[in-house]
Structure 1
Amino acid sequence: MPAPAAAPPVLELRNLSRNHGTGIAEVHALRGVDLTVRAGELVAVMGPSGSGKSTLLTLAGGLDTATTGQVIIEGQDIGALSRKQLAALRRRSVGYVFQDYNLIPALTAAENIALPRELDGVSVRKARKEAGEVLAGMKLADVADRFPDEMSGGQQQRVAIARALVGDRRLVLADEPTGALDSETGETVLALLRSRCDAGAAGVMVTHEPRYAAWADRVVFLRDGSVVDQTLSSDADSLLAAEDAK
């Protein structure tokens, strides 16, 4: 079900644009995007390759700077924060699932998951306990003490997702979180992401799979850096067919 209109916004994108290059080589990766994601809501972002999906996520997570517009997380305009303040906000409030996992090779799965919590002042004991719990939820308890190069690609991806879900982060951003997973494991991951949003977090997920978008409350469609449509996930199939026909 869609998040109630009265639920507080966790993420607001206001007239957000991102350009790369200058002059005739300038590329408009994102063009004047407005998007609000409220507590309890999961939004799927879909669109063709090069439509701006990953750019939207990197801006929303404070990993890149907008050319124009604002990114507001829990009422804070992240463009007004210092680098130190922004890093603290990301650790405390934002869980990010990268396409290339970004696991630290010298740390075990449990250590990779616990590290952001430890950096934010959580005790090592509590952070490792939380890491163990989320690993168990991902059916990965047996890889807790393995290093990334001792895990399969699918296991690494699930560990990266577990790292994004650990703790009480209010915003979860996931870039193709099921890309290296089989269908059954993908459904498990989406169920965990859905449950985190049902518990009060806000989620934004980039996906090209309608069956995974169906877990979301809304589906937002991007084309050429602009939002061209959005719909309830239950209506996404018909809109996808219309988009494909263009």
Structure 2
Amino acid sequence: MSGSRAQAVLRLEGVGRVHGTGPAEVHALHPVDLEVRAGEFLAVMGPSGSGKSTLLALAGGLDRPSTGRVLVEGTPLEGLSAARMADVRRRSVGYVFQSYNLLPSLTAAENIALPRELDGTPARTARAEAVAALAELGIGELADRFPEELSGGQQQRVAIGRALAGERRLVLADEPTGALDTATGEAVLQVLRARCDAGAAAVMVTHDAAHAAWADRVVFLRDGRVVEQAVRR
């Protein structure tokens, strides 16, 4: 890669996470060095309890490492105030959670637009971005529906739209196709792939080898350790 596409969007330097102390100490993630560059789609695989979700939480600043440091677009996350951390997460990082985390009192479009408005994007622009994201995911007609009026798969696509709206350079997705049928899941992966091809970086946790096939590189975790990496593209 060259130019901006060669820049590291996410860098983990000796990042590890330990829970508890003494006999109760558990290494959720042993120190790992990892870099994801602009334009790269990384898949993380491994059995339950291998540290996949821990790695994702640390990468996005939702949890703090016990060792090492995390950099997002060159900004070290350690030492940031809660307000500054929230600002980095909103502006640079899009999350797709397994639990959706949609606000029930807001419509699909409003759920997507809210983080953009919190960043100072005019409401009209944020609404347009939200509608465009929903259309890209094949549910543009559901913009004014509330979460309780949507199926689980539709809610998941709204959550994905929220992660993709705007100019976020890093997308972190935890089993983003878990609630979707095969065809819809493939469509979502195609959207993620297109975002990376346009210059974003994405890290996706998945248990499905067919879904990992969309990625440029696959990292395999076991017992909190990186045991293998495979370049696919």
Superposition TM-score tier, normalisation by shorter sequence: over 0.9
Q: Return the TM-score normalized by structure 2.
A: 0.97
Residue in 1 that maps onto 2:59: 60
Give the total of aligned pairs. Answer: 232
Q: Residue by residue, what CA displacement relative to the aligned partner does 1:115-163 show, whole Å, maximum 9, x if unpaired?
A: 1100000000000000000100111112111111111000000100010
Mapped to 2, the partners of 1:80 and 1:37 lie a distance apart of 22
Mapped to 1, the partners of 2:209 and 2:181 lie a distance apart of 15
RMSD across aligned positions (CA): 1.2
Residue in 2 that maps onto 1:223: 222
- Secondary structure of 2:86's match? helix
In structure 1, the gaps of 5 or more residues are 235-246
- Secondary structure of 1:89's match? helix
Residue in 2 that maps onto 1:174: 173
Residue in 2 that maps onto 1:44: 43
Mapped to 2, the partners of 1:153 and 1:216 lie a distance apart of 25
- Secondary structure of 1:55's match? helix
Residue in 1 that maps onto 2:29: 30
Mapped to 1, the partners of 2:232 and 2:80 lie a distance apart of 34
Is the CA contact (8 Å cut-off) linking 1:45 and 1:205 kept in structure 2?
A: yes
Residue in 2 that maps onto 1:140: 139
Residue 161 in 1 paired to residue 160 in 2? yes
Is the CA contact (8 Å cut-off) linking 1:213 and 1:233 kept in structure 2?
A: no
Mapped to 1, the partners of 2:35 and 2:58 lie a distance apart of 14
Is the CA contact (8 Å cut-off) linking 1:154 and 1:180 kept in structure 2?
A: yes
User: What pairs with 1:89-238 in structure 2 (closer than 5 Å)?
Assistant: 89-233=88-232
Identical-pair percentage: 67
Q: Once the 2 structures are TM-superposed, how far is the Cα of residue 4 of structure 1 from its aligned partner?
A: 5.6
In structure 2, the gaps of 5 or more residues are none
Q: Partner amino acid for 1:73?
A: V
Runs of 4+ deviating beyond 3 Å = 3-6
